[in-house]
Amino acid sequence: MNVKELQLHSALTFLLLLLSFFLQLTLYLGKRDYVDHVQNVDPIEGVVKLDPASLAGRKVFVKLACAFHYGREDLDVIGLSFRKDIWVKHIQLYPDAGHKPNLTPMHVCLLKKAGEQGRAFTFDIATNLPCSVTLQPGQDNAGKACGVDFEVKTYIATEADPEEKLDRKDTARMTVRKIQFAPDETGAPGPRADICKSFMMSDKPVHLQASLEKEIYYHGDPIDVNIKVKNETSRTVTKIKIIVEQTTDVVLYSADKYTKTVLSQDFGETIDANSTFDKSLAITPLLAENKKKRGLALEGRLKDEDTNLASNTIIRAGMDKEVLGILVSYKIKVNLMVSSGGLLGGLTASDIQVELPLILMHPKPQGKRIYFSHKSMGGGESTITSNQWRRVIQGS
């Protein structure tokens, strides 16, 4: 080995030793989305890879926190907190403090990846916690958005949840989501609403009935709104408008309630005097049409990946709504614009409106196993494909 090769070898050896010193922790998780089944929640199963020789007598902890953010953390310059922890749980991994989770196939795969220095852990998520929701920031806003999120964090310290700020190289963290999926049976009869309205100078009314075919719809799927009209007046229905509104109820720190229109669609259907109408009109509320609406509730976002409109909040009986942080619901409004006719025409037009509750959720996905890891000192997160996952399971 010549001098240059020896120098290069020495430099590479030093670099590897330096990396092994700084990258003291690696956090492995089997998935990023954890499903709330109403009666129970998927446990968080993970592994932390640590190097006892580099701890210098300190301990290693892993923490799961559910928090509500209502301001940018980088504005916390005068001691004000823009984060409220709703629920926190700590586990000491090293030295061993008695946490012995039942090893699952996911643990086994992650331990195989982490090697002999891996320590397994399991968090059981409380059933009364909110799902991950983000309020869409304005275009000029930067930093962490307002909303509810979950974070798994492993760190090196002398005690659990120390008050002093931890060095970046002593932590590794990953945001995860708590989500709800629609139940297997979504074909229950949908809601129906009726109204009968009379007008001045008319002795007969307009009957409007609106209904949905089922109770729950999936994000991105067309929603058929069945509309039946019996116009017994001498007036003409000149237009049908369908509106979908999202209501976000922030119940954690105040009684704020926001209503945002996520769809407003006009249909050029006319209904003549003394006639009937029976037709299904299709609508599809999408986030793509609402990218600029500040304060819209979205599914909890992981990094910069795309997300969807937030799903409805499903509340079990007896739950404390305040703990849920943000409640999301939807409703459909069906409007008929009725013209008076005559010389004044549309100047004296009036409308008839009914409202229908709408439940938007995601279908249960087909099982797709991936794993994620995050290293201390800001290491990148990684995702592997299903083929790579098979190689991990097989140990190749």
11, pLDDT greater than 70: no
pLDDT digit string, tens, across residues 125-158: 988 888 888 888 766 665 566 888 899 999 998 8
Going by pLDDT thresholds of 50, 70 and 90, the confidence category of residue 3 is: very low
Of 302, 325, 312, 310, nearest to 129 by C-alpha is 325
Per-residue pLDDT averaged across 161-177, rounded?
Answer: 82
Cβ–Cβ under 8 Å, residues 285 and 293: no
Q: Which of residues 346 and 291 earns the better pLDDT score?
A: 291
pLDDT digit string, tens, across residues 71-128: 555 445 445 556 788 889 999 999 988 999 999 999 999 999 888 889 999 999 988 8
* Cα→Cα distances 165→1, 12, 88, 157, 171, Å: 46, 32, 17, 10, 11
Q: Which of residues 129 and 63 earns the better pLDDT score?
A: 63
Q: What is the mean pLDDT of the chain?
A: 79
Cβ-defined contacts of 102-105 (< 8 Å, 24+): 104/45
pLDDT digit string, tens, across residues 23-33: 578 899 888 88
359, pLDDT greater than 50: yes
Among 71-75, 263-267, 270-274, 315-319, where is mean pLDDT lowest?
71-75
34, pLDDT greater than 70: yes
Among 79-88, 240-249, 337-346, where is mean pLDDT lowest?
337-346
pLDDT digit string, tens, across residues 228-237: 999 998 888 9
d(CA 8, CA 14): 10
Most confident of 100-114, 328-342, 370-384: 100-114
- Identify the pLDDT of residue 17: 36
- Identify the pLDDT of residue 374: 60
- Identify the pLDDT of residue 141: 60
d(CA 331, CA 319): 23
Going by pLDDT thresholds of 50, 70 and 90, the confidence category of residue 392 is: very low
- Identify the pLDDT of residue 272: 92
Per-residue pLDDT averaged across 186-199, rounded?
Answer: 87
- Identify the pLDDT of residue 319: 66
pTM of the model: 0.76
